[in-house]
Amino acid sequence: MLIFWKERLVILAVPKTGTSAYARALGPRADIVVREPPELKHAPLRRYNRFFHPMLDKMGAGPVDIMAVVRHPVDWLGSWYRYRQRPFLAGKDTSTAGLSFDAFVADYCRGDQPAHAHVGSQSRFLAPKPDGVTVTHLFQYEDQPRILSFLVQRLGHAIDLEQENVSPAASLTLSQELEDRLRRKYAADFDLWEQAGATPPER
């Protein structure tokens, strides 16, 4: 999570949406950078509402915009699948080594997800509380030029972005049957991604 006081902007770190690269590029410019623990670095909107929003409000921040990036759900799961194929997870119950992408997505769609498929949901990550703040600037991960344009305009300086935490290559072929099942069970995630693309550029 990155917090810019003067610009009244918070960038939530939705996992697997390139936030590490933005944190590295913008960290020196941010007033607050939350790196650890992961539960706070990747604090979902409800946790921001509980811990960070009251602090900023008490310090007189006033209205604060919240920015988040969401990734196409199939690609997002593909990133998790590839990340959990890394050697350092070998032998652990969170490893996806030896699993096909189809098998991983099938496990993700189960009611009792095994550890390797327990990765959360982008729509749940950004779900607002009834009495809490909401995301005001939502972007698709796939539209990096629009994200960069917004940040450059909002922060007032150029951004040198480099890739971070690149996972090993792996086949991400998904059967139509499983994609249909995923779309039914996680319709809110697909809707959120579509909504991010429909949002007009901020001025």
- Residue 38 burial (10 A CB sphere; 0-12, 13-18, 19+): exposed
CB 71 within 8 A of CB 193: yes
pLDDT at 126: 98
Q: Parallel, antiparallel, or unpaired for β 65-70 and 2-4?
A: unpaired
Q: For residues 48 and 1, give the distance between their C-alpha atoms in angstroms, rounded to a whole number.
A: 9
Q: How confident is the model at residue 167 (pLDDT cuts 50, 70, 90)?
A: low
CB 3 within 8 A of CB 56: yes
pLDDT at 202: 45
pTM for this structure? 0.90
